[in-house]
Structure formats: C-alpha cells, structure tokens
Amino acid sequence: MKAHFSKAGFILAAAGSAIGLGNIWKFPYITGVYGGGAFVLAYIVAVLFIGIPLLIGEMAIGAIGKKDPVGSFESLAKKAAGVWKNVGFSMLTGLVILSFYSIVIGWILYYLFLSLSTLPQTVEEAKTVFETMLALDIKTQILFHTLSMVITVFIVYLGVDKGIEKTNLILLPILFVILLFLFFYSMSFDSFSLAVGFMFVPDFSLLTPKALLVAVGHAFFTLSLGMATMLTYASYTDKNTNYVKSAIIVSLMEIGVAIFVGITLFAFLFNFGFESNQGPGLVFVSMPSLFYNFGMFGNILAVLFFIALAFASITSAISILEPTTAYIMAEKKWSRKKSVAVFGALVWGVGILLLLSNTKEYSATFTFFSKGLFDWFDFVSSAILLILGGIFTALFLGFGADKNNLKMHMTHFMSDFAFEAWYFGVKYCIPPVLIALMIYMISE
Ligand code: PFF
C-alpha cells in the first residue's frame, strides 16, 4: 500500500512545510526593509488571491493523481501527457533551495549551541560573531550544515508516516507553544503597540513595484508553492481528505504565524531601540544582542527562539527533500534509503560550495556577475524558478488537465460555483499576473 498521512497529519505536515525560515527569518526582515504595513498587506493579498488558488490546485493534482510529481501531472493530462509531465520536474527547484536552506539551518543550530553560553553584549559584538562565522569559520559552517542534512535525510528516510508525519506531530506543537510564549512576553513591552502599528498601519508611498514583487515571490516561497512539494504531500492523502479546506487552513495559519512572529520580533527590537530595516542579519545579529539585556533569562529566551527556528526549518527541509525522493522511488524503483542518500549527498556537496561563496578565502572563486553563489541560488529559486513552477502549474490546470475530471473530483469539496470561479482565476488571471511579474523581475 502507498504511504499515507492521517487527516490531521496531512494538515500538520503541510503547515510544517509552509511555516519555516520564510516566516521567522525572512518575513520580518523583508517587512522591515520594505517599510511595514503596506508590505504586510501586499503579502496577505498575494497569499489570498494567488497563493490559496494555486495551493488548492497543487494539492488537487497530487490528491487526484496519487502519484509522484511527474506521474501525477502525467495522469491528469488530457493529452500530450508526455509533455505536461515535465511540469513535475519543478520539484528540482527543491534541490536548489535545500542547498542554501540547509546552510541557514546550520547557522541556527550553531546559534542554538552559542545561546547556551555567552550572548553578545552589543550589536557590534553580535555582528562580529555573525560575520566571523560567515566569512572565516568554514569548519563550523560545514559541521552544522552536515548536521542539518543528516537530520533531514534521516527523517525522510524513515518515511511518510513514521518520519514526516511523526516529526511534524511532535515539533509543530512545541513550535507553536514557544512562539505564543514569546508573543505574550512581548506584550509586556511598551513597544508592543508600536510593533502592531508598524505591521498594520500602511504607508502606501513605500509600496514600490519592487516591494510588490518581493511580496508575491515571498507568498510562493512561504507557501512552498511552485515545486511540487504540496502536491507530493497531497498524494499521500486518502480520498476523503478535504484538501480544499486544508489549503485554506494552512494558508491562514501561515499568515497568522507570520504576523504573530513579526509583531513579536519588532516589539523586542523596538523595546531596545533597534531599527526595523536591518536585513538578513535581523535574526542572527539583533536578536542575540538584545537577549543579552535579560541576563540569565536572556539565555533561556535565546535558546527558545533558536529552537523555534530550528523546528520550523527542519519541518520545511524534509518537505523539500520528499518530492524528488518520491519521484525516483516511483519512476526508477530506487529504495527510499538509496534515494535520500543520493539526493542528500548531492545537496550537501552543492551546499558546501555555496557556503564557501560567503567566505573571505573563496568568495572571489564563487562570485559571478558580482553576486556570490549563495545569493544566486536564493535569487534564482525564489524569484525565477518557483514562479515559473507556479506559471506552468496554473497553465497545466487551465489548459493541460481535463476540466471535467478536475470538476468531478474537486466538487466533492467545493460548490460548482466555487469550482468555476477557482478554475477561471487559475486559467485566466494568475498566469498573466505571474508572467508580467517574471518579465519585470528579469528586466530589473
Ligand atoms: N515554506 C518554507 C518557508 O517558508 O521557510 C520554505 C519552503 C519549503 C519552500 C518547501 C519551498 C518548499 F517546497
């Protein structure tokens, strides 16, 4: 029998995939860089009007096709199945993402370890710690990147129910408890209302086209769209699992967590007079130096914070490795063990090149057109590959798949009217918006 999620297991696993570094690391810092309220609004609109319809579509393909990514696209195509099945190869974006995602998980695991001892006393000191690790400490980065890949590979090796479902079942509730605790704690600061204002009062003059693009790109990244991850997870459901409802629940959870985490971090930051626009170092520089102000309790806060980051990111990392694993097992009859070992080793090896591109010694070797390899991988995957995956998935749903077949299955979980509205949006509205976005991004 094919591996299988329970109903709750599926929602948890999909939420675990969505809620990750995107929420706790990336969303707060891009919100800070792009000016707060208006950006948050753009992100919410992108999730609601592009994210949710595409997530429903991806889940439908998996839940109806019940196969690996390539097999599911092939079995739903009304004709030219051999051409459409190639959309399944959007799963390869996962390998690109995982190779830098794992390095960031490595930093988190290292910081978890650092949080147990002394915290940096000032921002300057915190900056030195981060930059020294990044530019000089190759061994530490390789060590923790390796640890991150070993954990990810091991969980995926254990399989869909004993590995992926169980991990989410344990880690996600702990993650939520920690985030809620930090949120309630941040409510005691005077800066709390300032943080709420920053997140919710929009200043539309800050909403440049670039900010809009970043918001849409982030909606893709954070909902794990455009690389067949949610499709693969949905292929492990039984026929009674309501994936339409699941997609909506997961998206709302995703928005909720992003906003709660955003308010929490900004309340902490503003409380100590930090600026909001500090970029990627927000989590690794500002937060540790701010925790120092709490004395011993600061170490506890720091440990909890990095545990939350580690749990959120591990449940996402496993979802990134699963689609290619499912594909090679189904289509090439590899064992799960061999599949995860080969892909894990590949991602690990590429990851090392990426981390070298951030170091002083090797950055020149791995810099192309004035961007390091690490930044290239991040940029190409979230700005181009995920969106391309989204465009082809939408085109497949609108033009490649048999509408009657989709309708017959999907109207179990939605009304005829809702189906038609969804179908129209995915076929005629989403592809042009995404194509315009791509053209703008490339011409930027
Ligand atoms: N959604 C994850 C995050 O927000 O961190 C990242 C991610 C996971 C992207 C899975 C893509 C994916 F397929």
What does the alpha-carbon distance between residue 142 and residue 151 come to, in Å, rounded to a whole number? 14
For residue 292, the tally of other CB atoms under 10 A from its CB is 19
Least confident of 116-130, 221-235, 401-415: 116-130
| Ligand 1 atom nearest 226 alpha carbon | 13
How far, in Å, from the CA of 118 to the mean position of ligand 1? Answer: 31
How far, in Å, from the CA of 224 to the mean position of ligand 1? Answer: 4
Task: Give the model's confidence band at 11: pLDDT under 50 very low, under 70 low, under 90 confident, else very high.
Answer: very high
pLDDT at residue 1 above 70? Answer: no
Higher-confidence residue: 389 or 384?
389
| Ligand 1 atom nearest 21 alpha carbon | 5
How far, in Å, from the CA of 54 to the mean position of ligand 1? Answer: 15
For residue 249, the tally of other CB atoms under 10 A from its CB is 14
Q: What is the pLDDT of residues 346-357, one digit of tens each?
A: 999 999 999 999
Atom 12 of ligand 1 has which residue's CA nearest to it?
224
Ligand 1 pocket residues where CB is under 6 Å: 17-18, 20-23, 94, 97, 221-222, 224, 227, 229, 316, 319-320
| Ligand 1 atom nearest 25 alpha carbon | 5
**Mean of the pLDDT values across residues 414-419?**
98
How far, in Å, from the CA of 17 to the mean position of ligand 1? Answer: 6
| Ligand 1 atom nearest 319 alpha carbon | 10
How far, in Å, from the CA of 29 to the mean position of ligand 1? Answer: 16
pLDDT at residue 169 above 80? Answer: yes
How far, in Å, from the CA of 25 to the mean position of ligand 1? Answer: 12
Q: Tabulate helix, strand, coil % of the chain (nearest 5).
A: 80, 0, 20
Identify the CA nearest to 105 among candidates 322, 355, 337: 355
How far, in Å, from the CA of 50 to the mean position of ligand 1? Answer: 16
Q: What is the pLDDT of residues 65-85, one digit of tens each?
A: 999 999 999 999 998 888 999
pLDDT of residue 441: 77
Longest dimension (CA), the chain: 65
Q: Please report which helix (H) or strand (E) contains residue 371, including its range.
A: strand 371-372
How far, in Å, from the CA of 120 to the mean position of ligand 1? Answer: 30
Identify the CA nearest to 280 among candidates 98, 17, 41, 104: 104
249 to 5, 50, 292: CA distances (angstroms): 17, 15, 37
Task: Locate 204 and state its tokens.
Answer: 């539309």
To test the ligand 1 pocket, which listed residue (320, 322, 380, 387) has its Cβ within 8 A of the most ligand atoms?
A: 320
Higher-confidence residue: 319 or 379?
319
How far, in Å, from the CA of 20 to the mean position of ligand 1? Answer: 6
Least confident of 19-23, 70-74, 202-206: 202-206
Atom 11 of ligand 1 has which residue's CA nearest to it?
224
pLDDT of residue 367: 85
Atom 13 of ligand 1 has which residue's CA nearest to it?
224
Identify the CA nearest to 3 among candidates 330, 413, 247: 330
- Could you tell me the pTM of the whole model? 0.95
pLDDT at residue 279 above 80? Answer: no
**Mean of the pLDDT values across residues 238-264?**
96
Portion of the chain with pLDDT greater than 70, in percent: 100
Residue 77 DSSP label: B
Judge contact between 16 and 178, C-beta under 8 A.
Answer: no
Atom 9 of ligand 1 has which residue's CA nearest to it?
224
Task: Give the model's confidence band at 286: pLDDT under 50 very low, under 70 low, under 90 confident, else very high.
Answer: confident
Least confident of 2-11, 71-80, 295-304, 410-419: 2-11
- Crossing angle between the packed helical segments 430-443 and 386-395, to the nearest 10 degrees: 150
How far, in Å, from the CA of 316 to the mean position of ligand 1? Answer: 6
Q: What is the mean pLDDT of the chain?
A: 94
To test the ligand 1 pocket, which listed residue (97, 100, 347, 386) has its Cβ within 8 A of the most ligand atoms?
A: 97
